A and B are shown apart, each in its own frame.
Chain A
């Protein structure tokens, strides 16, 4: 084999290895979606979506869990979005670089690394017991909010910082106040990026089990919650229960539930991707 042939062979092997590694990362996603869709499809019927579970969760549908997850996601958004956005605006537009703000940033990054079950325990101690909110939609939403905040704050701050500094200078150079500049220029320009971060954060909240385990998720409630101080069923916890806690559970119910949760979360993902690419094409800078 000549030196040239040898180099060509090495190159072929290297390319094939890299390609294989890439294929390996895609494979699980295809398999997960494929298997869940394959095994879950038979369960999907209007009655599965819109009825409460029966016969010790073995029959009926998932309506209370589906509605509960929507409630928890909306509740988390109502709390985490205003707080996270305000914090991001403060950090990006008002705070000067000091020891204090650096410490806040480090805290936010570390907050994102805390295991979700720890958030659950924290939520139990603070919201359920100390603040006496009980196991409820509020307590669970608050717990999920704290978990979601770091994602929202850091993506929103990034989106705000990506808006060119020159826009701020021009606006303030024409007699705009800092707030006018933020409201009329910076926020609208950063909005697609902020929305993407918000959706990604909420998507994670929608799929989490551990944080709501001790703070508001109920094993079985045939009725929909009537107030924010009620407990609620939720899709991820329901899936956990029917997969591990109920003997003789029909497989198609398990996979049907997983499929609904997956579609719920993935459709938020698709929405985020759509918003991002739509606005990137329209962006004027």
Chain B
């Protein structure tokens, strides 16, 4: 299997998600994604970037099957997680979504306390022990760099947190499930630079243990974070390479034009 086409120097990496010839359509519209083939390596930060309408969010929502909730969405091709097909009808979707967590662009605290937000995913999975729930909560909040800020107000409504704290809460909520893959869809689109820096710092920590996929909110963020990067343009994967190669020496003219700000 090829992780980065054309990069002979790539170190041997364990593949986590293999995508082959993926095509996603919504209703009768032209495909939102077409001919996507790439392999997301384990315990690295993979970045999908490009202008709006490129299909990045669609790709994330295909990987954890949230597109199933959209009327008229059709998916063709293969997506494998640890070698197992995850697009088939017999896949246990709730288990899949626990293994591949997603954080959305706008933070959505559930209408309950901070503590309950952190418990939520585990409670859905059937966890009842208060001790287990609280331990998972503390661990997840620490990993998302939020514990020190909220440890004295865990039973306050989550909505009372600031925007940046809410986004880290959403990250923590996903981490509490101990997923294998964490996907973030423009996690800092509404955040100030300090909160963004905190989120990015926790991502660098998290990749020791988790596979991280992120749709960044800027090219600068993409280049800061990317171990691997894919450039998406109108449903097509234009270029896929290691972050260093793609941002320092893009091979495709369109990638270069986007990176240098000629369009976008």
Contact = CB atoms under 8 A, between A and B. Distances in A.
B44 to A, nearest CB: 22
A106 interface: no
Given A174-B97, A175-B96, 10 more contacts: A96-B71, A164-B108, A167-B110, A169-B69, A170-B110, A171-B110, A176-B124, A283-B111, A284-B157, A284-B158
A180 interface: yes
Contacts of A86: none
B183 to A, nearest CB: 9
A97 B177 CA distance: 34
Interface string A96-115: 11000000000000000000
Q: Which of A167, A168, A174, A285 has the most CB of B within 10 A?
A: A174
Contacts of B109: 284
A168 B159 CA distance: 17
> Helix, strand, loop or mixed for chain A's interface?
helix
B177 A285 contact: no
Contacts of B52: none
A284 B159 contact: yes
Interface string B112-156: 100000001101110000000000000000000000000000000
A275 B104 CA distance: 33
Interface in A31-47: none
A185 interface: yes
A167 B95 contact: no
A284 B116 CA distance: 14
Contact of A174 (B111, B112, B158, B177): B177
B211 interface: no
B106 interface: yes
Nearest to A283: B111
Contacts of A169: 66, 69, 104, 108
28 contacts: A96-B71, A166-B106, A166-B108, A167-B108, A168-B69, A169-B69, A169-B104, A169-B108, A170-B170, A172-B66, A172-B97, A173-B64, A173-B102, A173-B104, A174-B121, A174-B124, A174-B174, A174-B177, A175-B95, A175-B97, A175-B98, A175-B177, A176-B94, A176-B124, A184-B120, A189-B111, A284-B109, A285-B111
Nearest to A173: B102
A174 B103 CA distance: 10
Instruction: Give the interface size bracket for B toward A.
Output: 20 to 34
Interface string A80-102: 00000000000000001100000
A285 B123 CA distance: 22
* 9 closest A-B pairs by CB: A175-B98, A284-B111, A174-B121, A175-B97, A175-B94, A166-B108, A284-B159, A176-B124, A170-B108
Contacts of B125: 175
Contacts of A17: none
Interface string B83-94: 000000000001
Contacts, number: 69
Contacts of A168: 69
Interface in A169-194: 169-177, 180, 184-185, 189
Nearest to B176: A174
Nearest to A163: B111
Contacts of B71: 96-97
Nearest to B112: A284
B104 A170 contact: yes
B23 interface: no
Nearest to A189: B111
B101 interface: yes
B98 A167 contact: no
A5 B188 CA distance: 58
B168 interface: no
Contacts of B69: 168-169, 172
Contacts of A174: 97-98, 101, 120-121, 124, 173-174, 177
A167, A172, A177, A285 pick with most chain B CB within 10 angstroms: A172
B31 to A, nearest CB: 22
Contacts of A170: 104, 108, 110, 170
B105 to A, nearest CB: 10
Nearest to A164: B108
Nearest to A185: B110
Contacts of B110: 167, 170-171, 185
B124 A175 contact: yes
Contacts of B157: 284
A167 B104 CA distance: 11
A177 B121 CA distance: 11
B246 to A, nearest CB: 28
B159 A173 contact: no
A109 to B, nearest CB: 23
A285 B174 contact: no
A148 B170 CA distance: 41
